[in-house]
Chains A and B, each alone.
Chain A
Amino acid sequence: MIDVRNLSYVYNPKTPFTSQALFDVNLKIEDGDFFGIIGGTGAGKSTLISHFNALTRVQKKSGTVLVDDMDLSVKKLDLKKLRAKVGMVFQYPEHQLFDDTVEKDVMFGPKNLKLPAEEQKARAKEAIELVGLDYAEFAQRSPFELSGGQKRRVALAGVLAMRPEILVLDEPTAGLDPVGKRDIMNLVMRVKQSCPTVVMISHNMDEIAEYCNKIAVLNRGRVEGVFSPRELFGSKALLEKCGVELPLVTEIAVELCRAGVNVNEAILTENELVDELLKVMPRAVENA
């Protein structure tokens, strides 16, 4: 559980370059949530999530963040414990790879947790397999000679090897082709079985609509609201107010409706769209 209470954050306080990134943010992320965070550039999404594992420390008199029973606004914080609990995957995580073999790179996290050597190895193996790479084939290869998608998997494995209870993802599919995107999202859903709470920033509304059960909309450092996908994407007024676009599949359904095809507008995933289309298709064939 992550509980954000009245959180504010100011960059460069007391200088001419000061700018407030977060204003009085209140959020509650429950165990088991797939929590989406959306908002335009400069909305404060990254600043917000970097609080979750204390990479950005809560400023004085600026609210607090609770992760389970840990209060992140206190000075003496068990960072190791927190960072093992909250796994953070940044944008383009493949840029963090550094070691000469995939296995060693994935072991970096467990090693920092000072686990015994066999445990480190076991966890690396488990994580590499979890992200869908063949351990025997990849363990001893250099991470720098892999393809883009494989690199990203290895980087993800590096975080998963710490066995986080909460996984925080900052645009996990940025810069990948559609197949790569799908692979990564499938992988995230697989990971969610062992690490039940997932927080994800994304600009891709299709991903948000398909996977998240709660969506927080940020706008210039403020939370516009927390909605379920149906609430948010079902309400034109809300979408306009928050400046959010429809997922592509929903837009297709809306356009089809407008063109006179009898489909349900309020669909959110590809599968739902296909079902709707199949429902009308036989009639379309008959009519022809």
Chain B
Amino acid sequence: MRDMTIGQYYPSNSVVHRADPRFKLLILILFIVTVFFCESFFSFGFMTFFVIVTILLARVPILKVLKGLKMIIIIVLITTLLMTVFYTDPNSKPLAEWGIFHIYLNGIYAAIKLAWRLLLLVLMPTVLTLTSTPTELCDGLESLLSPLKKIKFPVHELALIMSIALRLIPTLIEETDKIMNAQKARGAAFESRNPFKKIKAMLPVLIPLFVSSFRRADDLADAMDSRCYRGAKGRTRMKKLHCRVSDVVALLFWCAVTVCVLFLNYNWFGWGFIAVLGL
């Protein structure tokens, strides 16, 4: 359990690390929207180029970034395979056919694009979590959502819940480790092959874990109460978020990238060279 990595922040002092988390979140949203607009191989390549530039600027080891892809690589492979064999194109002849499965050239293209899209969609959030601490992200989110306070949405509370949850993940892992060891010492076996037996074997771990979570929550509430915590009202921050010129520039830059992709896609002015690129 102990070598599980959650909250995979990679400490460094790069431009991307220092950037305002609010802007990083905005750019991420913009990026995700843009990726869904990408249709041609050229536009995918275009986006990938800027992702690579971001990774280089962030100065995180490329292996760390690729580790983030490990979780979804199976999903990507399966969807790609299904896309390839089930894609139907009435306008052309299939390259190969077995019963209900058939492979079209366009099907292969579509599958590659799908895989590419999925990988891009995971890469960028990975870079975000590698370059921002969970606290930064929570603060950024709270600040971004603050307009919702107008309609009485509990923004601060939501951010607090998030940061507490993130903070307690390592604690819970440690606790799980301890309880598992205690039950193993009493002869419990967690290595059963049968999934039902496995779930049943986890009960002696899950119940104490639940009990201790409630106890911890109680303690935390008491600790906050004794420090006069009264919610968001009148609360100031020790670390204020500062947006710098570079953050605005980065956001504008990504807006420009989005516009470029839209251009490649819709070709509003009917330029010939774009039509060539738009495979």
Contacts and interface: CB of A to CB of B under 8 A. Distances in A.
B179 interface: yes
Interface in B170-219: 178-179, 181-189, 203-205, 207-208, 211-212
A12 interface: yes
Contacts of B184: 55, 83
A112 B186 contact: yes
Nearest to B183: A96
Contact-size category for A: 20 to 34
Interface string A46-67: 0000100101000000000000
B187 A162 contact: yes
The 3 closest A-B pairs by CB, nearest first: A112-B187, A96-B182, A98-B207
Given A95-B212, A97-B208, A83 B203 contact: no
Interface of B: 3, 178-179, 181-189, 203-205, 207-208, 211-212
B182 A95 contact: yes
Given A95-B179, A95-B212, A144-B211, A90 B204 contact: no
Nearest to B182: A96
Contacts, number: 59
Contacts of A162: 186-187
Given A95-B212, A98-B207, A144-B211, A55 B189 contact: no
A96 B189 contact: no
B186 A90 contact: no
Nearest to A93: B182
Interface of A: 12, 50, 53, 55, 80, 83-84, 87-88, 90, 93, 95-99, 108-109, 112-113, 144, 158-159, 162
Contact of A83 (B3, B186, B204): B186
Contacts of B207: 98-99
Contacts of A108: 183, 186-188, 204
Given A88-B182, A112-B189, 18 more contacts: A50-B181, A53-B185, A83-B184, A83-B186, A84-B187, A88-B185, A90-B178, A95-B179, A96-B204, A97-B208, A97-B211, A98-B208, A108-B186, A108-B204, A112-B187, A112-B188, A159-B185, A162-B187
Contacts of A97: 208, 211
A12 B181 CA distance: 18
B208 A95 contact: yes
A108 B189 CA distance: 12
